[in-house]
Amino acid sequence: MLSGDIPPNQTIYVKNLNEKVKKDELKRSLYCLFSQYGRILDIIALKTPKLRGQAWVCFSEVTAASNAVRQMQNFPFYEKPMRIQYAKTKSDCIAKEEGSFVPREKKKKQEEKVEKKRFPEESKQSSVPNGTHGASNGGPTASFRPGSTSQEAAAPNDILFIENLPYETTGRMLEMLFEQYPGFKEVRLIDAKPGIAFVDFEDDIQSSMAMQALQGFKITPQNPMVINFAKK
């Protein structure tokens, strides 16, 4: 089958990655690219001879992984089409979240269910490649409500579609925000439709970076930006 008979998994296995790109940049880019599908708990990438050119992206939901497998299949990423499958085994970070993690020392096949209630400590500060110095104006990312139906993720595009802007937003204001990200080309406001804008980038990797960084940015306290890829 398409996914090579591997059953769905919260973690996707990505291969055919460009081995020249440095590990941290790779993780950041993967994070930006895939976080549109859901919350990413961790990204594993190693540069050892056996493991270079591959990465594991762990999502908090299987549905996010499924969307990512389908939508980003063969996506050209650093000049190479990504090959995406479900991971074959459960990631440590997932096992930890559900309390079934067994340290690697014991190489046992410890797949038994641990009947446990939630941990009392709810500090879900998961390790995420914290690439971007994002929207640091108080409010973190917006909870995706206005506009788009967040279940149907738009395909990557070098054009971003911005919603929920205050009516008084000017092109210059948006330029100042977006031009700090590499690949920025231009901002386009629609006179007939206040509150939305399009922002063009050189490619969809760079647009993803900016989207991730500025998602939820508040120009006014009541206007967290909602950023999506523009429809093709």
Q: How far is the CB of 48 from DNA (least distance, A)?
A: 6
According to the binding rule CB under 7 A, does residue 114 interact with DNA? no
Q: Both tokens of residue 99? A: 């309390």
231 touches DNA by CB under 7 A: no
For DNA, what does the binding mask look like between residues 13 and 52, x meaning CB under 7 A?
x-xxx-x----------------------x-x-x-x-xxx
Q: Please identify which residue in 33, 40, 93, 135 interacts with DNA, judged by CB under 7 A.
A: 93
- Identify which of residues 131 and 224 has a Cβ nearer to DNA in the complex: 131
Among 53, 129, 131, 216, binds DNA (CB under 7 A): 53
90 lies in the binding site for DNA (CB under 7 A): yes
Which residue from 53, 56, 52, 54 is spatially nearest to 42, judged by alpha carbons?
Answer: 56
Work out how close the CB of 117 gets to DNA at its nearest, in angstroms, rounded to a whole number: 24
Structure tokens at 39: 């919350």
Q: Spell out the residues 6+ positions from residue 33 whose beta carbon is closer than 8 angstroms to its own.
A: 72, 75, 77, 156, 205, 208
Closest CA to 60 of 127, 8, 11: 11
Alpha-carbon distance 38 to 63, whole Å?
8
Q: How far apart are the first and last CA of the chain?
A: 28
> Which parts of this chain interact with DNA (CB under 7 A)?
4, 6, 11, 13, 15-17, 19, 42, 44, 46, 48, 50-54, 56, 58, 85-93, 104
